[in-house]
Amino acid sequence: MLVTSLRFACLALVLSMPATVRAQSVERGQYLFQVSGGCSCHTDVKNQGALMAGGRALATPFGTFYSPNVTPDRDTGLGTWAQDDFVRAMRDGEAPDGRHLFPAFPFASFTGMTDPDLADLWAYLRTIPAIAAPNRDHELDAPFGWRFLLPLWTSLYLEQGPLIDDPERSASWNRGRYLVEALAHCGECHTPRDLLGGMDRDRWLAGTADGPEGGSVPNITPDPETGIGAWSDDAIRRVLRSGMLPDGDFVGGAMAEAGESFRHLTDADLDAIVTYLRGVPAIVNQVTTTKPAASSSAWE
Ligand code: HEC
């Protein structure tokens, strides 16, 4: 009797395992999705677009990009993609048909993500409702509209991942670097770009007057005058968790949108980001602010 029920118990365990493993992968993927900034470029919030159905206009100095549909719809989204196709897009900036993707899609950061994280993020994206919404062509100024230049761009700027932990540094610093450089791609907005639109890594996180959608992005290096060197750890944690700045105002623009997602950061991940930000080289760069309209409230 005992043996039989044990056997049933084992069988039940084995049968239920793939589903459990999948569920855990989706759950982890949802956290990665949130911390990555909610892939918010792919939702046209302004026009009440469906989650991840694309069509959002992204104004850049090179023209206007329209984000593609990344829901599991077979005809207009990523429904026919395999996990490997997704990994290739995120790590190499290449679509399954060999097309090179424009770096407005921050693959130069996502390339640093680990294989297990990419697998979990993919598992989560597969659970989003499929929406039929055809993609819209980008409206780019030559020569940036010339897709054939993209392999050159990639060869100049892509440092292919995944990021490898630095054994000389603490686990928290390594986690923080992973979040800032890869997953949450803070550098894509906070680092100035050069003429070809690549991140200027010598001025990592030093801010720019010429950020996404023409807005300015502050210097978040530890320089006490022009960066956030004078901020307390709590102040940095607070702006990421709730959007509240030390002067009681709230961040607006692109940061408010990314922050909708950063509020999900676990305490350990917040601490890791603070640890990492404290350790990047301090760069003196006074950014002229074109302050975006502050959101009226905290994210929570
Ligand atoms: C989509 C672009 C974008 C991303 C991604 C982004 N930021 Fe920001 N961030 C901004 C903008 C724009 C502001 C300025 C908002 C304002 O002034 O209201 C800002 C403001 C901040 C501030 C306040 C600094 C100050 O001096 O006021 C901090 C700190 C910050 N970001 C840290 C981060 C970190 C850490 C990450 C990654 C976890 C990150 N940001 C990701 C665009 C972004």
Same domain (yes/no): 257, 186: yes
Check pocket membership of 215 for ligand 1, CB cut-off 6 A: yes
pLDDT in tens, 195-224: 888 999 999 999 999 888 778 999 999 999
Ligand 1 proximity of 206 Cβ (cutoff 6 Å): no
- Are 73 and 173 members of one domain? no
Do 168 and 299 sit in the same domain of this protein?
Answer: yes
- For ligand 1, the distance from its centroid to the CA atom of residue 262, given in whole angstroms, is 10
Taking the CA of residue 257 as reference, the ligand 1 atom at the shortest distance is: 1
Atom of ligand 1 nearest to the CA of 236: 29
Residue 17 domain-assigned (yes or no): no
Q: Which of 109, 142, 162 is the last residue of a domain?
A: 162
Q: Is 68 exposed, middle or buried (0-12, 13-18, 19+ CB in 10 A)?
A: buried
Residues 157 and 216 in one domain: no
Give tens-digit pLDDT for 238-267.
999 999 999 999 898 888 887 778 889 999
| Boundaries of domain holding 116 | 26-162
**Same domain, yes or no: 206 and 192:** yes
The helix (run of H) or strand (run of E) holding residue 2 is: helix 2-35
Q: Which of 205, 213, 241, 255 is the best mutation target for the ligand 1 pocket, counting ligand atoms within 8 Å of the beta carbon and taking the most?
A: 255
- The residue out of 162, 180, 212 marking a domain boundary is 162
Q: Which atom of ligand 1 is nearest to the CA of 216?
A: 12
Q: Do 281 and 191 lie in a common domain?
A: yes
In a domain? residue 129 = yes
What H or E segment, with its residue span, contains residue 63? strand 63-66
Measured in Å, residue 278 CA sits from the centre of ligand 1 at: 15
Answer whether 227 contacts ligand 1 (Cβ < 6 A).
Answer: no
Residue 179 Cα: closest atom of ligand 1: 38
Q: Please check whether residues 61 and 181 belong to one and the same domain.
A: no
19, part of any domain: no
Cα–Cα distance for residue pair 209/154, rounded to 1 Å: 25
Identify the pLDDT of residue 114.
98
Q: What is the pLDDT of residue 230?
A: 97
Report yes or no on 16 lying in a domain. no
Q: Is residue 231 part of a domain?
A: yes
Give the per-residue pLDDT at 2: 53
* Atom nearest to 219 CA in ligand 1: 26
**Phi and psi, residue 231, nearest 5°:** -75, 145
Q: Does residue 234 share a domain with residue 219? A: yes
In a domain, 14, yes or no: no
Looking at residue 296, its pLDDT comes to 46
In short, whether 282's Cβ falls inside 6 Å of ligand 1 is no
User: Looking at the structure, do residues 94 and 179 belong to the same domain, yes or no?
Assistant: no
Write the single-letter amino acid at 54: G
Q: Are residues 104 and 83 in the same domain?
A: yes
CB of 38 sitting under 6 A from ligand 1: no
pLDDT digits (tens, 9 = 90+) for 112-140: 999 999 999 999 999 999 999 999 999 98
pLDDT less than 50: residues of the chain: 293-296, 299-300
Residue 299 falls inside a structural domain: yes
Domains in the chain, number: 2
For the whole model, what pTM was predicted? 0.90
d(CA 107, CA 158): 8
Ligand 1 geometric centre to CA of 255 (Å) = 5
Q: Is the CB of 283 within 6 Å of ligand 1? A: no
Q: Is residue 124, in this structure, part of any structural domain at all?
A: yes
Same domain (yes/no): 111, 185: no
Regarding whether 174 and 148 lie in a shared domain, the answer is no
CA of 220 to the centre of ligand 1 (A): 8
Of 123, 143, 162, the one marking the end of a domain is 162
26 and 20 Cβ atoms separated by less than 8 Å? no
Residue closest via CA to ligand 1's atom 2 equals 189
